[in-house]
Amino acid sequence: MLEAKVINPFLEAAANVLATMAMVQATPGKPFIKKDGAALGDVTGIIGITGDHQGSLSISFTKPCILQVMANLLGLEVTEINEEVCDAVGEITNMISGDARRRLEAQEIMLQGGTPTVVSGENHSITHIHDGPYLAVPFSTPSGDFTVEIAFNKQ
Amino acid sequence: MLEAKVINPFLEAAANVLATMAMVQATPGKPFIKKDGAALGDVTGIIGITGDHQGSLSISFTKPCILQVMANLLGLEVTEINEEVCDAVGEITNMISGDARRRLEAQEIMLQGGTPTVVSGENHSITHIHDGPYLAVPFSTPSGDFTVEIAFNKQ
């Protein structure tokens, strides 16, 4: 099944990067289809994907979750979503994309990633424009939640 | 100069797509470097770019500007940034990316675009994670402003 084969490595990569980089244990929840206008996060990293499949990946953090990630990453307390936080979210997004692409290479699926873009703003929502497989998965951590979304166009 | 050669086609494409699709005459203003945390828009389309150069493109609309674009595109009045608006912003972003890539092919620069992602939320701000050429250009229209940003990694 194309969907699971291409999408699961991104979910595995998200949990792996958060655990490895930020010592945050993330538990995936039940995948969901978003309702129109649902608020998703306070800071989001987005990366475009090209190659054998064309799509986009986003990871949206609630403020408490990203502030804990920052504390673990840098060993210092951050209280606001500032430029440093945006840079870290971009780096995390890049690492998830890279980790997932390495996992997919083992299945001979070759993808390239663009450079990440980070959005900050309370309660923004994200819409992936696509006509193929799509998945949104909430992850819970002891310090709050984040959501990973992956969307692809049909081949 | 790499910067102008690669970046200008995206600015030309943005003005061209808005004029052609939505009969909106957009006048480019002075490029600027963003201050930390500057609010940029109410709805933003983002697309990742790979190929000979790796980067990202965003176009951020103020609410009055995108509502006018919608009125021109669809011939009906839209009063809120809803799902239909997000889909249109995604389509506009795709068209700008495609138009710019065709212009660059004439210079033998080959790029691919991912699928667009659209962010909605009042006064969100955008950070492109990159280490190379970058440009933010405000455009003014009779109905409000939009901003195009293009960022690339160093080769």
Minimal Cβ distance to B153: which of A115, A122, A151: A115
Q: Taking CB atoms and an 8 Å limit, are B48 and A94 in contact across chains?
A: no
Domain limits for position B13: 2-152
Helix (H, G, I), strand (E, B) or coil at A82: coil
Helix axis angle, A2-22 relative to A63-74, nearest 10°?
50
Residues of B in contact with A88 (CB under 8 A): none
Residue in chain B closest to A88 (alpha carbons) equals B129
Q: Taking CB atoms and an 8 Å limit, are B56 and A124 in contact across chains?
A: no
Give how far Cα B15 sits from Cα of B81, B100, B135, B140, B148, Å: 22, 11, 15, 10, 10
- Cβ neighbours, 10 Å, residue B51: 16
Tell me the pLDDT tens digit for each residue of A97-130.
999 999 999 999 999 999 999 999 988 999 999 9
Q: Taking CB atoms and an 8 Å limit, are A50 and B47 in contact across chains?
A: no
Closest to A117 (Cα-Cα) out of B112, B60, B89, B61: B60
In the predicted structure, residue B35 carries a pLDDT above the cut 60? no
Q: Taking CB atoms and an 8 Å limit, are B127 and A153 in contact across chains?
A: no
Look at residue B22 in the predicted model and tell me its pLDDT. Answer: 87
CB burial class (10 A; 0-12, 13-18, 19+) of residue A91?
Answer: middle
Residue in chain B closest to A36 (alpha carbons) equals B83
Cα–Cα distance for residue pair B27/B38, rounded to 1 Å = 21
Confidence of residue B52 (pLDDT cuts 50, 70, 90): very high
Question: Average pLDDT of chain B?
Answer: 90
User: What letter would DSSP give residue A33?
Assistant: P
Tell me the pLDDT tens digit for each residue of B8-23.
999 999 999 999 988 8
Residues of A in contact with B49 (CB under 8 A): 48, 114-115
Q: Show which residues on chain B lie within 8 Å of chain A, measured between beta carbons.
A: 36-37, 39, 44, 46-51, 54-56, 58, 82-83, 86-87, 90-91, 93-94, 112-130, 151-153
Give how far Cα A22 sits from Cα of A103, B129, B148, Å: 20, 20, 33
Confidence of residue B37 (pLDDT cuts 50, 70, 90): very low
Cα–Cα distance for residue pair A124/A40, rounded to 1 Å = 6
- Structural domains of chain B, count: 1
Phi, psi dihedral angles at A93 (to 5 degrees): -60, -45
Cα–Cα distance for residue pair B87/A89, rounded to 1 Å = 25
- On whether the pTM is more than 0.90, the answer is yes
- The kind and range of the H/E element at A138 are strand A134-141
Look at residue B97 in the predicted model and tell me its pLDDT. Answer: 96
Tell me the pLDDT tens digit for each residue of B60-104.
999 999 999 999 988 878 999 999 999 999 999 999 999 999 999
| ipTM metric | 0.90
Output the domain CATH number for residue B58. Answer: 3.40.1550.10
